[in-house]
Amino acid sequence: MDIINAIGRRKTAVARVYIKEGTGSVTVNHKDYKVYFPTEVLQYVVNQAMTLTNNVNNFDIKANIAGGGFKGQAEALRLGISRALCKIDLENRPILKQNGLLTRDPRMVERKKPGQKKARKKFQFSKR
């Protein structure tokens, strides 16, 4: 099997994922994912696609992540891993689709408008 790559995005985070057969190591930006994502919640998010498809110790994953915050990066990585697993075996697709792991979350930060303090907050109105 060759190296399979996929891209995952979330907010402004972009994760490029490379998967090959191996022992189950996950490397993010040349660090172990448990060092890069120190909280258990984010580690669960990263491993979610692998555990649902029973591939935890079957593949080695290398990822390059840029932009966004740690939560957006973890979810971008999850989407990239899910897409790569679908490229490897189409039988993984229904399980991942059912759990919502193949849907790109379209929510982005709303832009700031001129004449306002923030995206929706206005300056204080004075009647007199």
Residue 96's pLDDT band, with cuts at 50, 70 and 90, is: very high
pLDDT of 97 reads 94
**Is pLDDT of 1 > 80?**
no
**pLDDT above 70 as % of the chain:** 100
For 14, the token pair is 């972009």
Q: Name the pTM for this structure.
A: 0.90
List CB contacts of 39: < 8 A, sequence separation 6 or more. none
Distance of CA 7 to the CA centre of its chain: 9
Evaluate whether 88 touches 19 at the Cβ level (below 8 Å): yes
Q: Any idea what DSSP says for residue 14?
A: E
